Structure 1
């Protein structure tokens, strides 16, 4: 990469957000700090390292920054698929700040975050119209998207395998009323999938999320026009799929957009940074502002606008119960995040104090 001019039109084909070099941004500052470096995009992330690209057909195994390899280095501060980095030869020398991201709380008792995809414009939440259809899980995915800066679109696949697609779309009417698009498609039919093209223009990036067997890889193959991604039939007894996608990968599309395919995710824990008002619950949050009491629990209090809406049939009660559950999970994760940040801040203060004492005792080195 070094020694050649930067081909920004080609970078646009893998989602570069500017017509040329960045100006007056944090990205421009990073370029100034590394004048010999060239931009590239992370297209694959593996335990052993990264694959980056500076064009639709260009792929290079990259060496990560040394600090990323430390066991305690925060995983969400390492590069993820969709991130832009600066390269000197085969070495990553800088991670450019993210414009958007979709994250989840990683599994385990200790708080830490995992980036699912970075610098995406749209998140396609894919759900099959078989036994995979679960409005509550769709709401959980919307929770993860909320606050991350990307637009969510709910994609109901396997519309050709059931007569109930219109009923499923109607079940999600409360989401559609908040300008969250809900599409029912046959993932194998290019004409049906064409309804998604509006989000896949040149320079745009979308990520597919959903459970195994929902049809993400089939959808990717149809958008590509070739069978590139491995697919497999779901089990008949529970409609669950096998993990045919084993790692996240960024794939350029013929339209000039990029698509990030992801493995199915079993755990969808919040990070504490989510905004439920941006997660398909804006109507409930707005109603809560109208309650008579500021600390209304929306159970038996008089003058509760939320309960009144449920009783009128304007709000589905199961959806409201899920809202309460997700609200509590986000609040608990936010507490853990605050404690983690306070701990880091205290450690930083203690480190500075120790450094000062050592200087006073031994002088500067």
Structure 2
């Protein structure tokens, strides 16, 4: 087996410290999954793994299971007899979560421990500010840092105008412009990669994610397909997997991320401009619809805020089940959801205060 530099694929001091608390176990990172079988990277090479019976018995929700990007504790790190056994998932520093459909509160981890998310969008008909807002909300909530990557610059005649349009929604987010035609058309993304860095790609099929990954790896790692004539891409990647880069770090190509819902999206960062405006409203519970003294409606009338962005804000709040709530109320709602098993945030706070006495 080929040895793997675990620090290169993201094993930092935080994970190392936590791993030392599990004696007689070895650390690995999940690099792909096929049903109940996982492929893990260890210092001695790649191994096939499965979870232990106790692990399966202790699972409460689907998100407890290992996911691509997770660091896990194994019974061994050598291919001696059969599949290695996963006994523990180390604490995630970031996670992309997909909620179950219907009334179930179950959730699935799509990918974990990502540092940077490239939100990819082509500079042709695929360009859509509302989609950017959606992806930003999802990324901020995951704990990762978003970077907007605009692809196919060679097919666009008004790149500067699109960059100006992006300024209205990409508050404080880096924006990169790439082209698959030029040899150095992807050089701007290189600074986000390096030893220990994990980058994931998010965006519609056919916008150039696979092309960009192939350039980073220096080979045709992933099959590519262009957008169809109706501007909808074909799904070229069928499973999530980690790809180790020759110059350091890893990328995760994650087709399932396009299916992530907005139930827990962080809209307070994505729409920080609207929340700032809302602080100037006459009423604290202003819905920004018909109340007098509404600073948000005033900003729209004066051209400081577009009707389209405000409409997107309302739509995404509704989809995330935060309709009618302001930023502070949304944060309270999210905390209550986090502590629902102990009776909500108020009871959790009382429990913490009692424990600290």
TM-score scaled by structure 2?
0.83
Residue 203 of structure 1 pairs with residue 190 of structure 2: no
Q: What residue is the counterpart of 2:241 in the other structure?
A: 249
Q: What residue is the counterpart of 1:83 in the other structure?
A: 70
Residue 31 of structure 1 pairs with residue 20 of structure 2: yes
2:111 aligns with one of 114, 117, 138:
117
Superposed CA deviations along residues 220-254 of structure 1, whole A, max 9, x for unmatched, are 00111111111122211x12111110011111112
Distance in 2, matches of 1:35 and 1:98, equals 20
Q: What residue is the counterpart of 1:285 in the other structure?
A: 275
1:93 aligns with one of 82, 87, 92:
87
1:175 aligned counterpart, secondary structure = coil
Contact 1:113-1:271 at 8 Å conserved across structures: no
1:99 aligned counterpart, secondary structure = coil
Residue 40 of structure 1 pairs with residue 28 of structure 2: yes
Q: What residue is the counterpart of 1:157 in the other structure?
A: 151
Contact 1:189-1:222 at 8 Å conserved across structures: no
Distance in 2, matches of 1:302 and 1:241, equals 46
Distance in 2, matches of 1:188 and 1:205, equals 26
Distance in 1, matches of 2:259 and 2:297, equals 30
Residue 258 of structure 1 pairs with residue 250 of structure 2: yes
Distance in 2, matches of 1:307 and 1:37, equals 59
TM-score scaled by structure 1?
0.81
* Aligned-residue CA RMSD (Å): 2.8
1:22 aligned counterpart, secondary structure = helix
Q: Judge which range, 287-296 or 129-138, deviates more.
A: 129-138
Distance 1:74 1:68, change over 3 A: farther
Residue 59 of structure 1 pairs with residue 52 of structure 2: no
Residue 175 of structure 1 pairs with residue 165 of structure 2: no
Identify unmatched segments of 5+ residues in structure 1.
2-6, 347-365
Q: CA deviation at 1:197?
A: 1.3
1:12 aligns with one of 7, 18, 31:
7
Q: What residue is the counterpart of 1:49 in the other structure?
A: 37
1:12 aligned counterpart, secondary structure = coil
Distance in 1, matches of 2:102 and 2:38, equals 25
Identify unmatched segments of 5+ residues in structure 2.
77-83, 324-329, 344-357
Distance in 1, matches of 2:55 and 2:181, equals 40
Distance 1:319 1:77, change over 3 A: same
Distance in 2, matches of 1:321 and 1:50, equals 42
Distance 1:106 1:127, change over 3 A: farther
Distance in 2, matches of 1:48 and 1:85, equals 15
Distance in 2, matches of 1:21 and 1:129, equals 39
1:50 aligned counterpart, secondary structure = strand
